[in-house]
């Protein structure tokens, strides 16, 4: 068996205020809090099945979107970056994150004002990081992150964005040179060297899948994406994300992995 890429995940329990999370899809309705909790339990189980030790942080009622813990930090192999979320209502979610990351990292840096960066815009491909220049991650924040990457021996590349929330809303690296993309990202020159798997137009939510060690976690209800990943030789785990989808949350958003 290959050396596992990741050993640890950090998640944060959904707060009751989750029902007021930011959304671009109000037509999907408000999340059902109890169901969201059960889906969160199942998500933790999926991470454990992938071989991760999962640290579960308590809910933060004052921050409806705080279960999307991926956005407050980026965890590389050698350092951690505390972000500065671009969504004003999420900016103070970073309080306390340094203390948590200090259990795992000696080297922690922070994005400084006026920069903004959200982890959902950061995609790791080996020692290269692709970073979406989205409405949440501004050029200053992206440049600060690239400078930190370069200081640690990595490279970073800003990626112009279609009207999509985060880079990983529309594209996810599946390892083994496979890039999962929605239609917007399918023709991106930045991804030309990858073997691209394009999700069907009626399964765009599945462009955010999560490769962890020997598995890919796939949002349930996306059978053609699931079949395409399996046909590419990847072992899959399906995860119901219906309640998080209602507030623009994807599989990657719910954890930090390192
Ligand atoms: N609701 C997740 C976000 O907008 O960041």
The answer to the question of residue 1 being in a domain is no
CA distance linking residue 176 with residue 208, whole number of Å = 17
The answer to the question of residue 88 being in a domain is yes
What was the pLDDT predicted at 120? Answer: 98
Task: Report pLDDT digits (tens) over 76-102.
Answer: 999 999 999 999 999 999 999 999 999
The answer to the question of residue 3 being in a domain is no
Mean pLDDT of 217-225: 98
CA distance linking residue 162 with residue 101, whole number of Å = 32
Tokens 């192999």, residue located: 77
The answer to the question of residue 234 being in a domain is yes
Our measurement of the distance from residue 179's CA atom to the centroid of its chain's CA atoms, rounded to an integer in Å, reads: 15
Cβ atoms 253, 120 nearer than 8 A: yes
Query: 22-52 burial, b for 16+ CB within 10 Å, e for fewer?
Result: ebeeeeeeebeeeebbebbeebbebbeebeb
Local confidence band at 3 (pLDDT 50, 70, 90 cut-offs): low
Domain count, the chain: 1
Respond yes or no: is residue 75 known to be catalytic. no
What was the pLDDT predicted at 80? Answer: 98
The mean predicted confidence, pLDDT, of the chain is: 97
The answer to the question of residue 101 being in a domain is yes
* Radius of gyration (C-alpha) of the chain in whole angstroms: 17
Mutate to test the pocket of ligand 1, among 68, 116, 208, 250 (most ligand atoms within 8 A of CB): 68
Q: Which atom of ligand 1 is nearest to the CA of 247?
A: 1
**Strand order in 235-239's β-sheet?**
210-212, 215-219, 235-239
Question: Which listed residue (40, 67, 75, 166) is catalytic?
Answer: 166
Mean pLDDT of 241-246: 98
Q: For residue 251, which of 198, 227, 224, 215 has the smallest C-alpha distance?
A: 215
Identify the CATH number of the domain in which residue 97 sits.
Answer: 3.75.10.10
From its phi and psi, is residue 153 left (phi > 0), alpha (psi between -120 and 50) or beta?
A: left
Task: Report pLDDT digits (tens) over 128-146.
Answer: 999 999 999 999 999 999 9
3-state secondary structure of 33: helix
Task: Report pLDDT digits (tens) over 158-214.
Answer: 999 999 999 999 999 999 999 999 999 999 999 999 999 999 999 999 999 999 999
The answer to the question of residue 222 being in a domain is yes
What was the pLDDT predicted at 4? Answer: 73
The answer to the question of residue 207 being in a domain is yes
Respond yes or no: is residue 103 known to be catalytic. no
What was the pLDDT predicted at 1? Answer: 46
Q: For residue 202, which of 232, 179, 223 has the smallest C-alpha distance?
A: 223
Cβ atoms 18, 67 nearer than 8 A: yes
What was the pLDDT predicted at 2? Answer: 60
- The number of beta carbons lying within 10 Å of the beta carbon of residue 233 is 8
Mean pLDDT of 110-120: 98
Tell me the residue range of the domain where 83 lies.
8-257
Cβ atoms 218, 229 nearer than 8 A: yes
The answer to the question of residue 106 being in a domain is yes
């Amino acid at each position: 068996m290959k050396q596992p890429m990741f050993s640890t995940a950090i998640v944060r329990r959904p707060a009751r205020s989750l029902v007021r999370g930011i959304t671009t899809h109000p037509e999907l309705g408000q999340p059902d809090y109890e169901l969201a909790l059960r889906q969160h339990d199942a998500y933790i189980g999926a991470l454990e099945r992938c071989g991760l030790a999962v640290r579960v942080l308590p809910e933060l009622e004052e921050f409806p979107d705080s279960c999307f813990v991926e956005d407050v930090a980026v965890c590389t192999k050698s350092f951690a970056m505390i972000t500065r979320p671009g969504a004003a209502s999420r900016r103070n979610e970073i309080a306390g994150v340094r203390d948590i990351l200090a259990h795992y990292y000696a080297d922690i840096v922070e994005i400084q004002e006026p920069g903004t960066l959200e982890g959902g815009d950061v995609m790791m491909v080996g020692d290269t990081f692709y970073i979406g220049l989205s409405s949440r991650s501004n050029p200053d924040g992206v440049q600060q992150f690239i400078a930190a990457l370069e200081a640690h021996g990595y490279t970073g590349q800003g990626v112009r964005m279609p009207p999509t929330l985060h880079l990983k809303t529309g594209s996810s690296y599946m390892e083994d040179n496979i890039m999962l993309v929605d239609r917007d990202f399918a023709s991106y020159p930045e991804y030309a060297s990858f073997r691209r798997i394009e999700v069907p137009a009626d399964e765009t939510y599945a462009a955010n899948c999560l490769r962890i060690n020997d598995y890919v976690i796939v949002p349930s209800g996306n059978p053609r994406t699931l079949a395409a990943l399996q046909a590419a030789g990847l072992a899959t785990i399906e995860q119901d994300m219906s309640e998080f989808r209602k507030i623009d949350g994807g599989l990657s958003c719910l954890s930090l992995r390192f």
